Homo-oligomer: A and B are copies of this chain.
Amino acid sequence: MIDKQSPIPIYHQLEEYIKQLIENGILKPDEAIPSEREYSEQYQISRMTVRQALNNLVNDGYLYRQKGRGTFVNKQKVEQKLQGLTSFTEDMKERGMVPSSRLISFEIIPAEPQLARKLDIKENTPVYEIKRVRMADNLPMALETSYLPANLVKGLTEEIINKSLYQHIEEKLSLTISEATQQIEASIAKDTEVSHLQVESGSPVLLIVRTSFLQDGTTFELVKSAYRADRYKFVHTMQRAAK
């Protein structure tokens, strides 16, 4: 399980190992995991190294400690799942639904002033505009429009979009989204939303505007979505900041 010769740090190996046991349900919530000294003896590693692994897992919310008692498995929180959320696809899968989508339009347009400001690029810079109806279990869930600076994601095709845009971005272009800001508000469905989402006029929708950033701070994408209020609820967990 633990390979001391590996270039991967020991604490990280132990971390991944324990994380696996939790995610596979072998270690159950509120169950005590072996003590630090047990890990230390079993794998012949120092107790401080074990602590480093456990501390990371505590920080990530997988474990919690009780002085004098032991270290325990945390309940799988919705939060952990949602924090990693980047795409509609991931979100729906988390909710146990099958995501799909129908492309409405796909073109390259010059960024008008407002969009340019939001994407932090110059006016009229080419931008991909992708409009899609997002579905869950084959029912319309949201109408989504994405804007991506063309210079960041060259050679985008309909095929890639229909397959998995995010997979392409992460694996082929090896770009990683590190942070995102969301603005969420309520509204009444507009005409295009009424028709694409198949709701009655006057129906409420949840508008979510997400701006995603890369590690270096580059603005990567702007996504405007209108969700059917009767089908979608946004769930979100937050920790109180230290004073």
Given B86, B184, B206, B233, which contacts A236 in the complex, CB threshold below 8 Å? B184
Complex Cα–Cα for A73 and B81 (A): 29
Interface string of A162-195 (1 = CB under 8 A from B): 0000000000000011111111111110000000
Cβ contacts under 8 Å, A187 to chain B: 186, 204, 229
Q: How many residues of A contact B (CB 8 A)?
A: 43
A186→B206 contact, CB < 8 A? yes
Q: Cα distance A48–B47 when bound, in Å?
A: 14
Bound Cα distance A238, B180 (Å): 5
**A201: min CB distance to chain B, Å:** 11
Q: Which residues of B contact A235 (CB under 8 A)?
A: 181-184
Q: Are B179 and A206 in contact (CB under 8 A)?
A: no
Verify if A17 is at the interface (C-beta below 8 Å from B): no
**A242 and B62 alpha carbons, distance in the complex (Å):** 11
A86 near B184 with CB under 8 A, answer: no
| Least Cβ–Cβ distance between A207 and chain B, in angstroms | 8
A residues sitting closer than 8 Å to B (CB atoms) are 48, 59-60, 78-86, 176-188, 202, 204-207, 227, 229, 232-242
